[in-house]
Structures are given as C-alpha cells and as structure tokens.
Amino acid sequence: MSHAQTLASYPNTMRQEVARVREVVAALHGELPRYELVVWTAGNVSQRVRNPEVPDGSADLFVIKPSGVSYDELTAESMVVCTLDGELLEGTRAPSSDTAAHAYTYQHMPHVGGVVHTHSTYATAWAARGEEIPCVLTMMADEFGGPVPVGPFAIIGDDSIGRGIVQTLSESRSPAVLMQNHGPFTIGKDARAAVKAAVMCEEVARTVHIARQLGDPLPMRGEDIDALYARYQNVYGQ
C-alpha cells in the first residue's frame, strides 16, 4: 500500500476512529505529568488505529504527540497521525522524536495497541544501571508477571530502539522494558493500558529501590508469581 496519500484515502470508519483516538491520546498525555513521569516536553503516548480493510495490520495507523510541544498546549487537534513506517500522514507539526520506536513496535507486535515512553525518575535510574527490577512484590507479579527487563543501549533516530523493545518484550510477560541508559517504554492493548503500565513501572521501581536501601528484598517463588499473574490478568476486576 502506498503511503503517498492522505487520511482522506482511508475508510470513513477509520477516519472517524482517528478523530476519536486523537481525543483519547491527547487526554492520556495529561496523566504523565499528573503521575510525575515526565518533565518539560519529554515523553510520549501513542495508540494504534486499525484498518478494517487490511486484517494483517500492515495498513494500520497510529496517533502520537508532536515533538517538543508543552503538555499544557497539547490538544486533540495537535496530535499527529503516522503510518506504521513512521511517516507523517496528517498533522501540522513534526511527530515525536520517538516515533520510529513506536512504529517499529506496532509493525512487529500486532497485538499491541498502545505505546508509552517516559523518563520517570526511579525507572530511569534502574535503566541507567542497566539492571532489571526484580520481582519482589505481589503488585509486580500481578502487572508484570516477573521482573521488569532491561533492553539494549540504542541511539535515537532510527529503529534501533524499536528493535530492542520488541526483542526484549517478546521474551517476557512484562509490558514494560527499561532501555539501558535511556528509560522505560511500555505497551498495552491500547494507550490507556500502556499508560497504566508506565505508572506501575515507576511505582515498583521506587518501592524496590527503597526496599534495597533497608536491606535485601525477599525473593518470590516462581509458582507464586505465576499464580498471582494468572489471577490478576484473568480474574481480577469487573
């Protein structure tokens, strides 16, 4: 499918969904400063928009924040729409500098519907050490199904970060990865789930850090982690 086109060439239902997702993604960006996950203009949220006419996902789009815009200035209209090649399809501003990483993740993980990147303090501190966050809390077992893994060092600008995200998360139940010397990226069924994972990642990073100041956190048995994860993912909630 050629990407030398505009949003007008996509199905009407998809254009309507893009408009809805722009509202959703704009609103979810407000959660990042609310939970103190970002400073200044750093960080980004995106959500996939599926093309009903191409089931394999190759013609999907995603909505993401523009680069270098204050969180106070973000609106649904300022969100940009990109193809899975990371090319700008619609919007008046350049897309986020992390767009290539989001695009690669959507391309290679078809089940992923949302991606978030932050530089939240405690999670990024673990990333700076290149150290995974060990699973020593029931909350971690619930949400991450084990430790929060570390991905390889990669320079921003091409799909290197995306490759590291996909490679690391393909081998883990965790929806979060700490990219070495960079910070956390999280995935989810949609952007809201990915934002939740980012909030939870920072919370457990902080808690385990504090625990280690007091002594050695107690390890959890693998079978207990598995049981907690299965219950939380399949039974917990409404």
Residue positions annotated with a catalytic role: 117, 119, 142, 182, 236
**Adjacent-strand bridge partners of 187:** 115
The two three-digit tokens of residue 89, written as one number: 């399809």
- The residues, any chain, with a CB within 8 Å of residue 145's CB and separated by 6 or more, are 172, 173, 174, 225, 226, 229, 233
Beta 176-179 vs 150-151: how paired, if at all? parallel
The two three-digit tokens of residue 152, written as one number: 């390889």
Q: Specify the length of the chain in residues.
A: 238
- The whole-angstrom separation of Cα 120 and Cα 228 is 26
Cα atoms found within 13 Å of the Cα of residue 14, Cβ hemisphere only: 21
